[in-house]
Amino acid sequence: MRALVFTAPSVVELHEVDEPTARPDEVIVQVAAAGICGSELHGVRTPGFRTPPLVMGHEFAGTTPDGRRVAVNPILSCDCCDLCARGQRQLCRERAIVGVHRPGAFAERVAVPRSSIHELPDGLSWTAAGVIEPIANAVHAWNLAGAPAGVRVGVIGCGAIGLVCLQLAKLRGAATVVAADPSPSRRAQAEALGADAVAERLTGEFDLIFDAVGVPVTHHDSVALLRPGGTALWLGLGSAEAGIDSTELVRAEKRVLGSFAYSDAEFAEAVTLAEGWDTGWVGSFPLDDGARVFTGLMNGGSEPVKALLTP
Ligand SMILES: [Zn+2]
Ligand SMILES: [Zn+2]
């Protein structure tokens, strides 16, 4: 079968690869849509994040051999450690991810555990199914923040994760949402999705700020612009540098919460939410075009915000 393979630093290529084989507790999914994630664009350039050769792709949906349309929760867990027992599979001590630690969905077919599949509602488009995974990330971050209504929300970074955080905040009854991104086209996208204001760099005061970038300056802003007692949700992995004034965490009781992935229940909620989700920021491309699209985004292209490969 054909697959987009990460072969060397900053290189992805279309290759003919072996068909996946499924163990007894696994199923082969015929991939219909697989999103290219910012973590993958970062991961192929930056040593230590992804190890070639690798078929990436962890945001995907497709069809099982018995004809069911499914989305796949790519977080694999041991189901027996203390954190799995608490329902925090995303923090499993043996955590692995489809498309990172085993072959992923930038291919015609992929083997996944039966326990990872979620059936899709009838009529849900493959485009919407392809963004269930990013939506699940936003659901988790919102829940970590305590699911507050009527709050002033700031969103830093209008890539896919920033946009789904913006969309979810509107859906959950935020009073206002201000979104920031250096890219004019991405700011326009945020406005189209209902942002009350957009800016190159965030200003103002907020109860809740999502940092979907994760570099020192965005970390700094996500804390500095909080009201006393406010919460910053960090979803970005741009840099290991903190960049914040840590005394604000003490004097103003500001909180910084890291948010990684989602629980199974949150993934299931995202499957439901995907129906009716505005996906105007998503573009679809054939797998054969994957290397060109991936490389363009990796080299700084800002369009589309989310590219889905449709094998
Ligand atoms: Zn991702
Ligand atoms: Zn575990």
pLDDT in tens, 224-238: 999 999 999 999 988
Residues 80 and 49 in one domain: yes
Residues 32 and 104 in one domain: yes
pLDDT at residue 256 is higher than 80: yes
Is residue 273 a part of any domain in this protein?
A: no
Is residue 216 a part of any domain in this protein?
A: yes
pLDDT at residue 49 is higher than 90: no
246's CB contacts (< 8 A; 6+ apart) are none
Distance (angstroms) between ligand 2 centre and the Cα of 88 equals: 8
Place of tokens 């230590």: 48
Instruction: Check: CB of residue 42 under 8 Å from CB of residue 157.
Output: no
Residues 96 and 179 in one domain: no
Whether omega for the bond prior to residue 304 falls within 30 degrees of 0, making it cis, is yes
67's CB contacts (< 8 A; 6+ apart) are none
Distance (angstroms) between ligand 1 centre and the Cα of 251 equals: 35
Is residue 111 a part of any domain in this protein?
A: yes
Q: What ligand has the least distance to the C-alpha of 76? A: 2
pLDDT of residue 300: 85
Distance (angstroms) between ligand 2 centre and the Cα of 263 equals: 12
Q: What ligand has the least distance to the C-alpha of 79? A: 2
The CATH number for 32's domain is 3.90.180.10
Residues 54 and 77 in one domain: yes
Residues 178 and 125 in one domain: no
Whole-model pTM: value is 0.96
Percent of the chain with pLDDT over 90: 93
- Residues within 5 A (CB) of ion ligand 1: 37
Residues 138 and 125 in one domain: no
| Angle in degrees, CA 60, 64, 70, rounded to 5 | 45
Is residue 265 a part of any domain in this protein?
A: no
Please compute, for residue 295, the number of CA atoms within 13 A of its CA located in the half-sphere on the CB side: 15
Rounded Cα distance between 26 and 28, Å, is 7
Whether omega for the bond prior to residue 20 falls within 30 degrees of 0, making it cis, is no
Distance (angstroms) between ligand 1 centre and the Cα of 8 equals: 20
Across-strand partners of 111? 28
Rounded Cα distance between 281 and 47, Å, is 29
Residue 303: which of 175, 158, 193 has the closest Cα?
158
Is residue 267 a part of any domain in this protein?
A: no
Residues 229 and 297 in one domain: no
Q: In terms of C-beta density within 10 A (0-12 exposed, 13-18 middle, 19 or more buried), how is residue 141 classed? A: buried
Residues 123 and 86 in one domain: yes
Distance (angstroms) between ligand 2 centre and the Cα of 290 equals: 33
- Residues within 5 A (CB) of ion ligand 2: 77-78, 81, 84, 92
Residues 115 and 168 in one domain: no
Is residue 263 a part of any domain in this protein?
A: no
Rounded Cα distance between 98 and 73, Å, is 9
pLDDT of residue 31: 98
Is residue 294 a part of any domain in this protein?
A: yes
Q: In terms of C-beta density within 10 A (0-12 exposed, 13-18 middle, 19 or more buried), how is residue 93 classed? A: exposed
How sure is the predictor about 27, in pLDDT bands with cuts at 50, 70 and 90?
very high
Distance (angstroms) between ligand 1 centre and the Cα of 294 equals: 14
Distance (angstroms) between ligand 1 centre and the Cα of 101 equals: 14
* The amino acid at 184: P
Residues 38 and 54 in one domain: yes
The range of the structural domain enclosing residue 102 comes to 2-131+279-309
Instruction: Check: CB of residue 232 under 8 Å from CB of residue 209.
Output: yes
Rounded Cα distance between 138 and 259, Å, is 9
Q: What ligand has the least distance to the C-alpha of 88? A: 2
Residues 195 and 217 in one domain: yes
Distance (angstroms) between ligand 2 centre and the Cα of 96 equals: 10
Instruction: Check: CB of residue 72 under 8 Å from CB of residue 98.
Output: yes
Distance (angstroms) between ligand 1 centre and the Cα of 44 equals: 13
Question: H or E element: which one contains 117?
Answer: strand 117-119
Distance (angstroms) between ligand 1 centre and the Cα of 102 equals: 15
pLDDT of residue 23: 95
Indicate the DSSP class of residue 98.
B
How sure is the predictor about 114, in pLDDT bands with cuts at 50, 70 and 90?
very high
79's CB contacts (< 8 A; 6+ apart) are 89, 92
What's the average model confidence in pLDDT over 146-159?
A: 95
The CATH number for 249's domain is 3.40.50.720
223's CB contacts (< 8 A; 6+ apart) are 209, 232, 244, 245, 248, 249, 254, 256
Is residue 266 a part of any domain in this protein?
A: no
Q: What ligand has the least distance to the C-alpha of 80? A: 2
Tell me how many domains the chain contains. 2
- The mean pLDDT value of the chain amounts to 96
pLDDT at residue 302 is higher than 90: no
Residues 160 and 111 in one domain: no
